[in-house]
Structure 1
Amino acid sequence: MSVDTEKLNGLLGTVVNELGAAANAALVLIGDKLNLFQALGEAPAGLTVSELAERTGMHERYLREWISAQAASGFVTYDEATERFSLSPEQKAVFADEDSPVLMTGGFHSLAAVFANEPRLARAFQAGHGIGWGDHCNCLFCGTERFFKPGYKAHLVSEWLPALDGVVERLDRGIRVADVGCGHGASTAIMAEAFPNSEFIGFDFHEASVEEARAKTRGIPNVRFEVARAQDYLGREFGLVTIFDALHDMGDPVGAVSHIRRTLSEDGTLMVVEPMAGRRLSENLHPVGRVYYAFSTNICVPASLGQEIGAALGAQAGEERLGEVIQAGGFSTVRKAVATPFNIVLEARP
């Protein structure tokens, strides 16, 4: 077969861009950890490298190379006339604003866990066994919270819960809510603070995450956390049960949904938030789909295969497959309540 030079050059350009992105990912993580992006965001007129070094207390030579990589990536703006670096409003929203709904730095924290786990994942490919959620380094759990929390803060109370039939009114009056697979408790805390008349219980099988959730939510009186699996957590007559970006990670999602059905009140609601995905592979071959497929290969599928049943739905299961799982677990109706470019929200009723 002859090589098409034009196609080859296009592919090489893509690969070079990918190599640069992968190499710079660790530098974005460092910039976030050392508050370098935040320092730039606090200087509207921008900073020279020496000014950034003085402001942050970091070594100037390292900073010059670091910030040059960010400028080449388009993550930082460089003014050649003044030799100053700055963040545009858009760059600040993505890299430096903790209240921004599009803050993306959490994903880079998770990448540290992905690369650290590569040898184990390669062995899992060969043997077919799973890799437990708790077998990853802690940066995965912190990164997961930081990646998903901005979206939850932006959409959960203002859009997702109101899209459910009558749920906000019941939360205002006061009901019991179970947040299953709660991780560090970001979703649980957001709901608890918004609805003080309701009681919120976060369940997760990862003990270290539950301990972190408890530490982060001290002072919120209507929330608590318990170590438990989705298939057998304790409690009954919950008016609302939520699962945020976790159903596809479960080894036995049907078993989990069946248990949720048994613990739900007859007029209760199950809300399932999952990554957005189309019905067919061809619909997911785009940048967001690539992120989800990559993290699913590294994290989600191994986590499910490491549990009983090992259904391995994957992060791109899609609305139809998720609906089948929920109905197999005993729910009579499932509907798409709302969707964003990153998430789909399903409402299920008994």
Structure 2
Amino acid sequence: MDQDKLMAFVGKFVGDLGATIAAGSVVIGERLGLYRALAQKAQTPQELADATGTDARYVEEWLRGQAAGGYVQYDDDGVYSMTEEQAFALTDPEGPVFVPGAFQLALGSLQALPQITEAIRTGVGVGWHEHDKDVFEGCERFFRPGYLASLTTDWLPALDGVEQKLRDGARVADIGCGHGSSTVLMARSYPDATFRGSDYHEPSIAEARRRAEDAGVAERTTFEAASAQTFGGGPYDLVTTFDALHDMGDPLGAARHVRESIAPDGTWMIVEPFAGDSVADNLNPVGRVYYSFSTFLCVPNALSQQGGYALGAQAGESAIRRLVTDAGFTRFRRVAETPFNIVYEARP
């Protein structure tokens, strides 16, 4: 045995173990307002506890762990602070990067450890609706920053002729909309267009309706509890699926239904996790994140549904192209990408 290689692996393990248990501390820091208060000014543990109505001894230990992990700064005089970059990523849920949401999703996913263990043993599925509520909230908070940063500024403008249609009053279907963040964001940006969101998870649809009401777009935005293979309405000028197609047990059936529901000159925008076509392409930090989430969420959900597919979060462009083509679309291209997503355009 090569001792240097062994110790290198042990070092990797220590880093991963620290990150795993620290995930809970990140969510606690966000929920208790610790990050937001510390971002305002440098403080001692007692000062931070006083500012947030928390216990100083717990806060002291929390701060030490955060400093060890590089999430806050420590000065030798016992004062803690945050850099501009740390505050940017840890305190603003409306910004393009929001770290606590990702950890909330991860912790919510891990709540299903017993069910997923049994599923791996037996091959049964675990539906999205069977997960902890932190999965639904964390999923939105993980992906929403990317939508806020790119959807109306980069992704929609990259589609052929779509932005003008939206300005002129397009009809849009948002499939697998979850809490409706993507639907509401588009509705707020294009006030002459009408939107119909759908998701098979009824509690998420109820939340989406509340979000639309709060945003003042409810008159132009409707939601229905329906699967991707049965959503109603049409013909649509634009159909969107955000990080959802790979989760479906029957994505081909969904693609065919989109094809039937779209206008002759319509567009399907497919947003999927960033992935290459081969396993080797995805052996990197982003691939590791998505393969791990896929083991707990995407593949179990697909296997809980009829259809025979379990694409997983790292399906890659070739698999998506094949589905789209098999469903009857004749044009397909990649139009945009970020470190976490790839955006495809499909047309009849």
1:152 aligns with 2:152: no
Superposition pairs of residues 177-196 of structure 1, within 5 angstroms: 177-196=172-191
Superposition pairs of residues 118-133 of structure 1, within 5 angstroms: 118-133=113-128
User: Once the 2 structures are TM-superposed, how far is the Cα of residue 99 of structure 1 from its aligned partner?
Assistant: 2.5
Match for residue 229 of structure 1?
227
1:92 aligns with 2:87: yes
Match for residue 340 of structure 2?
342
Match for residue 242 of structure 1?
240
Q: Give 1:276's match in structure 2, choosing from 253, 270, 274.
A: 274
Would the aligned equivalents of 1:181 and 1:246 in 2 still touch at CA under 8 Å? Answer: yes
Gaps of 5+ in 1: none
Would the aligned equivalents of 2:26 and 2:103 in 1 still touch at CA under 8 Å? Answer: yes
1:71 aligns with 2:85: no
Residues 242-298 of structure 1 deviation map (CA, whole Å, 9 limit, x = unaligned): 000000001100000100110100010000000010121111111111000000001
Would the aligned equivalents of 2:93 and 2:141 in 1 still touch at CA under 8 Å? Answer: no
Tell me how far apart the structure 2 counterparts of residues 205 and 199 of structure 1 sit (CA, whole Å).
Answer: 21
Runs (4 or more) in structure 1 with deviation over 2 Å come to none
User: Once the 2 structures are TM-superposed, how far is the Cα of residue 226 of structure 1 from its aligned partner?
Assistant: 0.8
Give the alignment's TM-score, normalised by structure 1. 0.97
Would the aligned equivalents of 1:95 and 1:105 in 2 still touch at CA under 8 Å? Answer: yes
Aligned positions, number: 345
Q: Secondary structure of the equivalent of 1:338?
A: strand
Q: Secondary structure of the equivalent of 1:265?
A: strand
- CA RMSD in angstroms, aligned pairs only: 0.8
Q: Give 1:16's match in structure 2, choosing from 14, 17, 28.
A: 14
Would the aligned equivalents of 2:199 and 2:224 in 1 still touch at CA under 8 Å? Answer: yes
Residues 195-225 of structure 1 deviation map (CA, whole Å, 9 limit, x = unaligned): 0000011100000000011111202132121
Residues 23-66 of structure 1 deviation map (CA, whole Å, 9 limit, x = unaligned): 111111111111111111222xx111111001000000000001
Tell me how far apart the structure 2 counterparts of residues 324 and 93 of structure 1 sit (CA, whole Å).
Answer: 39
User: Once the 2 structures are TM-superposed, how far is the Cα of residue 311 of structure 1 from its aligned partner?
Assistant: 0.4
User: Once the 2 structures are TM-superposed, how far is the Cα of residue 94 of structure 1 from its aligned partner?
Assistant: 1.4
Tell me how far apart the structure 2 counterparts of residues 147 and 137 of structure 1 sit (CA, whole Å).
Answer: 15
Would the aligned equivalents of 1:250 and 1:310 in 2 still touch at CA under 8 Å? Answer: no
Superposition pairs of residues 81-120 of structure 1, within 5 angstroms: 82-120=77-115
1:327 aligns with 2:325: yes
Gaps of 5+ in 2: none
Match for residue 307 of structure 1?
305
1:217 aligns with 2:212: yes
1:134 aligns with 2:129: yes
